[in-house]
Amino acid sequence: MRRLAMVVVVAFIIVLGILAQRPPAVAESVASPQVLPDRRVTFRLLAPKASEVAVSGEFMSGSKPLQKDEKGLWSVTVGPLPPDLYAYQYMVDGLKIIDPNNPVVKTGSRPSTTASLLEVPGDRPAFYDARPVAQGTVQVRWYASKALDSQRRVHIYTPPNYDKETSRYPVLYLFHGANADDTAWTSLGRANRILDNLLADGKLRPLVVVMPFGYAYAPNDSGGVGLPNSDRQASGFSRDLIEDLIPFVQANYRVYTDREHRAIVGLSMGGGQALRIGLGHLELFSRVAGFSAAVPRSNVAEAFKEVAANPKKVNDQLKLLWVGCGAADSLFAADQAFSEFLKTSGVKHTFRATEGAHTWQVWRRYLYELAPQLFAQS
């Protein structure tokens, strides 16, 4: 929580600096971003003393410069853009900032990941949009982690009518990526809305979804343990999940406690976590998936040697093993190589190669596609 407070303070100071350059009469007159009827988008920034301004975002490669008018108002129009949610930032004389005219902000576990959010609507509600359907509940819970000697926060989704029923539910453990936190799958991934819509359309079996904080230790730890792939970080997260979080969920929610009704899925850093933990603990998980998974680039065989040594055991115990990655993602080659390793080892799985880069546009669609498959056979 201290990290989030620092992010807010830093962002506030930066915005104050930008606002200080504005003539008072026009301080509230800048509309940015402005989505035009044809889905082109205009970005504006009032910064009379700036020498150079550019915008970058998930809707483009690189950046695009803004042009300055006689009043010091910088602007540029891009697109048209496909309907979706996009993160973007400004670069003002070498300083990366959020859009001071846009109150919708993406945050994470590090200040460097703070960005503004743009939503380009389509002609009809998207699969991640709120619809007039029965809605599940997202609870923010704290639990005691004996493995890490700390109190930890987790977001937990329960389906519509959970409190009115007595039945048990399958459970999905859903992990975020590097530099994010346990809010990411609801604030950016819109996981709860996606699941509500799938349930309303009769495409999904009701389930409980557990979205934990993916770091065992602070991600900016100077000793190196905060790095996503450090051994201590990985082992700490795994121990917390198995020794503390799963027992907490089973004690406080009506979920099945057997492996047949437990899945583990993640994106990027969390995708690597899900694959390593899931395939390393077949006694706990029967469904495993990674989105743009951060798997080892050179020593996959060593990292997953037990999988290659026991392909029959893996095939017999797993109901689903799924890996997906966008072709423009920097992790695509590693994920493709991991798929080839599984294939060569005789491990049954699905490798889903799609368009897209390392963005939430890809991961939201993967959740929408994968969720109905998770417990269809249980």
Percentage of the chain exceeding pLDDT 90: 81
pLDDT band at 220 (very low <50, low <70, confident <90, very high): low
Measured N-to-C along each axis, helices 360-374 and 191-200 cross at an angle, to the nearest 10 degrees, of 40
Considering the domain architecture, whether residues 90 and 218 belong to the same structural domain is answered as no
| DSSP track, 204-266 | S---EEEEE-S-SS-TT-TTSTTSTT-HHHHHHHHHIIIIIIHHHHHHHS-B--SGGGEEEEE
Alpha-carbon gap, residue 196 to 206, rounded angstroms = 9
Considering the domain architecture, whether residues 192 and 327 belong to the same structural domain is answered as yes
β strands within the chain, DSSP E: 34-35, 41-46, 53-57, 63-65, 67-68, 73-78, 84-92, 95-97, 105-106, 115-120, 137-145, 150-158, 171-175, 208-212, 262-267, 287-291, 320-326, 350-354
pLDDT band at 71 (very low <50, low <70, confident <90, very high): very high
Domain boundary among 91, 120, 149: 120
pLDDT tens for each residue of 136-193: 999 999 999 999 999 999 999 999 999 999 999 999 999 999 989 999 999 999 999 9
pLDDT of residue 29: 73
pLDDT of residue 112: 77
pLDDT of residue 378: 61
Considering the domain architecture, whether residues 202 and 160 belong to the same structural domain is answered as yes
Alpha-carbon gap, residue 374 to 357, rounded angstroms = 24
Nearest to 189 by CA among 169, 204, 211: 211
Does 84 reside within a domain? yes
Displacement of CA 320 from its chain's centroid (Å): 21
pLDDT of residue 222: 45
* pLDDT-wise least confident of 27-41, 142-156, 284-298, 315-329: 27-41
Alpha-carbon gap, residue 181 to 106, rounded angstroms = 11
Mapped onto helix, strand or coil, the DSSP state of residue 7 is helix
Considering the domain architecture, whether residues 86 and 161 belong to the same structural domain is answered as no
pLDDT band at 371 (very low <50, low <70, confident <90, very high): very high
pLDDT of residue 113: 82
Q: Mean pLDDT, to the nearest integer, of 206-210?
A: 98
- Expressed in percent and rounded to 5, the helix, strand and coil fractions of the chain are 35, 25, 40
Domain boundary among 94, 120, 146: 120
Q: Mean pLDDT, to the nearest integer, of 81-103?
A: 95
Does 24 reside within a domain? yes
H-type helices in 253-330, by residue range?
A: 269-280, 300-303, 305-309, 311-317
Considering the domain architecture, whether residues 305 and 348 belong to the same structural domain is answered as yes
Considering the domain architecture, whether residues 81 and 197 belong to the same structural domain is answered as no
37: domain range?
2-120
Does 25 reside within a domain? yes
pLDDT tens for each residue of 94-104: 999 999 999 99
Does 126 reside within a domain? no
Percentage of the chain exceeding pLDDT 70: 89
pTM for this one? 0.88
Domain boundary among 90, 120, 150: 120
DSSP letter assigned to residue 163: G
Instruction: Report the domain count for the chain.
Output: 2
CATH number at residue 320: 3.40.50.1820
Does 128 reside within a domain? no
Considering the domain architecture, whether residues 200 and 293 belong to the same structural domain is answered as yes
Tokens of 73: 């108002």
Nearest to 374 by CA among 195, 180, 182: 195
Nearest to 50 by CA among 102, 98, 101, 94: 94
Does 125 reside within a domain? no
Displacement of CA 377 from its chain's centroid (Å): 26
Considering the domain architecture, whether residues 151 and 66 belong to the same structural domain is answered as no
pLDDT of residue 26: 44
Phi, psi of 45 (to 5 degrees): -150, 125
Alpha-carbon gap, residue 60 to 54, rounded angstroms = 12
Alpha-carbon gap, residue 15 to 40, rounded angstroms = 25
Considering the domain architecture, whether residues 162 and 108 belong to the same structural domain is answered as no
pLDDT at 10 over 90: no
Considering the domain architecture, whether residues 147 and 116 belong to the same structural domain is answered as no
Alpha-carbon gap, residue 341 to 23, rounded angstroms = 61
In the predicted model, what is the mean pLDDT of the chain? 90
Query: Is 193 within 8 Å of 367 (Cβ atoms)?
Result: no
pLDDT band at 227 (very low <50, low <70, confident <90, very high): low
Does 29 reside within a domain? yes
Q: What angle do CA 218, 114, 17 make, to 5 degrees?
A: 120
CATH number at residue 25: 2.60.40.10
Does 63 reside within a domain? yes
pLDDT tens for each residue of 247-272: 999 999 999 999 999 999 999 999 99
pLDDT of residue 108: 78
Considering the domain architecture, whether residues 103 and 168 belong to the same structural domain is answered as no
Q: Mean pLDDT, to the nearest integer, of 80-92?
A: 96
Considering the domain architecture, whether residues 173 and 79 belong to the same structural domain is answered as no
pLDDT of residue 4: 46
